[in-house]
Amino acid sequence: MKKKVLITAFISAGVFVSSCARPVQPKTTQMVVARKDPLLRRYDKTKKMYKRIEIKEMKMVSYFHRRKIGEAIVEKDFIRYQFNTENGELIEHKKQWRKDLPEKVTPSISRRKAEAKVEGKVLFSKLYIISPDSEVFTVKPVPQNPCWIVRSVDGERMIVTIIDAITGAKLGQGVPPPYEGLSIHGPNWGPCPQNPIWYNHAENARAWFATMGYNTERVGNASDAKVQSHIQSDDTAMFYELDHGGSASFHNQCNSNITAGEMETWIDAYASMAFTFLGSCEGMCNQSDNHFSHEFRKGSDDGTVTVGYCGMSGLQCDDCWPDAIDWQTTLFTWMDAGYPVGYAFGQANLAFPDCAGTNNCMRIAGDTALRLVPVITRSLCGNVYNGFKGPLSLNSRDYYIRCDITVPTGQTLTIDSDVDLVFLNDSKITSNGTLNANGTTGQIRFVSEEDRNKGIEFTGQIRITNSGQIKIYE
């Protein structure tokens, strides 16, 4: 079967990539002392503080300790334990802990002096020991001293400034999180064109979706036409965007925004996007009509799911932003292993609780039971037969018929038991060959996208020959 296409595209100062179940949302996090927790104290009898987060639907609890030396956060250093809540079994113990760091850190430059060195209005600042593997504090060489990371806003421009906390030197700027309400006058706030940022995030998504079996395109500063071409496609089943913007608009080029209204128009005659990652700062905050989450799903919770950020530029998600790539790596790892998106989402939140719980920086909507592996189909159109887009076998997403499909003369299309075919645009099936609807052991349903109660369903076998047709009327 032909593989689907994912578009991953840098947009503006960022990237544009290209059975319902309850959302797997973690409970409110709480802080616990290792030696006082009945599960944790078996492995850690210290006074370390852990963030505890439990997902009852998954029967799992996670404990996460982020390393600090004094006031300084040690980027990417942590200890994590995960347990089965039914039997107390240890599921995972992971420790990332640099050995070349001092026991004590005392900045020579005060927070106030560091903040006085930056442009714009200061939002907040934190002391970090920057990791050599950092994706967001990417100054070279990697600072050996602790650094003040100061977040500020100059007009509509967000700035992340890195200042050496010992010498007071301004070392450069970090990669800002996506931010709502930024100007459309340039992807990197200078003369157009500009090189897009957030390459690592987009490349991570591209690589994982390719691993899952989806042919992948990553495009920098994608034009409206490029985005539209992938929305209006039978092959593009997965879509990833990381850009400045909100739930109803994101900034794709120096002088261009894409709106949820445009998305609604573009996708109208096409099947819903199977998987969408909305990485704009406020991308998943509003999931109602006339917002991206709703439009990519066409308002449905069947066979379509959206995942993404809410409030990533705010203080509540500041500890999540440096973990964003690791969070999505965990999500994609579990998806690639064949697990439902909702389960993968829960695993990512358990692994990085600063992105979940009360912070609620990562959100999900739609069909949380959807599986993206093995590769699934977005929609069918034109010739379809066994050996070319067929047979139509049971998977985790229905088959969407976007336009008339035909079984050519001399060919056979087999539809297996328990398969649903969902028809859009008053489409029909024409068989000039043989259509085998093999419902001997289960039910096959031919239904309308507009109303799943319209159509036909049967148990048995249908054979269509001599240029017969099946047409579903909405």
Token code pair at residue 6: 């994912």
When comparing pLDDT for 21 and 45, which is higher? 45
Q: What is the pLDDT of residue 50?
A: 97
pLDDT band at 63 (very low <50, low <70, confident <90, very high): very high
Give the pLDDT confidence score for residue 440 in this predicted structure.
Answer: 66
- Does the pLDDT at position 294 exceed 60? yes
The one-character DSSP state at 247 is S
pLDDT in tens, 250-287: 887 777 889 999 999 999 999 999 999 999 889 999 99
- Residue 221 has what pLDDT? 77
From CA 59, how far away is CA 39, in angstroms rounded? 14
**Cα 156 to Cα 184: distance, rounded to the nearest angstrom:** 10
83-92, 211-220, 242-251, 304-313: the lowest-pLDDT one = 211-220
Helix (H) or strand (E) holding 171: strand 170-173
The pair of three-digit structure tokens given for residue 151, joined into one six-digit string? 């977040």
How wide is the angle at C-alpha 107 spanned by C-alphas 105 and 108, nearest 5°?
140
Go through the chain and tell me how many residues it has: 474
pLDDT of residue 441: 65
Q: What is the mean pLDDT of residues 229-238?
A: 90
In order of 76, 297, 382, 444, the CA distances from 416 in angstroms are 48, 26, 20, 8
In percent, the amount of the chain with pLDDT more than 90 equals 60
According to the model, what pLDDT value does residue 202 have? 86
What's the chain's average pLDDT? Answer: 85
Residue 423 to residues 171, 340, 401, 404, 434: CA-CA distances in angstroms?
57, 25, 5, 9, 20
Average pLDDT over residues 420-430: 89
Q: Of 385, 418, 426, 383, which is closest to residue 402 (Cα–Cα)?
A: 426
**Which pLDDT belongs to residue 23?**
46
Mean pLDDT computed over 310-322 = 92
Give the tokens for residue 1: 């079967």
Q: DSSP label at 331? A: H
| pLDDT tens digits for range 127-156 | 999 999 999 998 999 999 999 999 998 876
Query: What are residue 353's phi and psi, to 5 degrees?
Result: -65, -15
Backbone angles phi, psi at 171, to 5 degrees: -90, -20
- Mean pLDDT for 383-410 is 92
Distance (Å, whole) CA 50 – CA 337: 29
Query: For the residues 311-322, what does the mean pLDDT come to?
Result: 92
pLDDT number for residue 62:
96
Distance between CA 115 and CA 213 in Å, rounded? 47
Query: Looking at residue 161, what is its pLDDT?
Result: 96
Determine the pLDDT at residue 200.
87
Mean pLDDT on 441-454: 77
Q: What percent of the chain has pLDDT over 70?
A: 85
Say how far apart CA 136 and CA 461 lie, in whole Å: 57
DSSP secondary structure code for residue 433 in this structure: S
pLDDT of residue 432: 87
Residue 26's pLDDT band (cuts 50, 70, 90): low
The string of pLDDT tens digits covering residues 157-186 is: 789 999 999 999 999 999 888 754 222 222
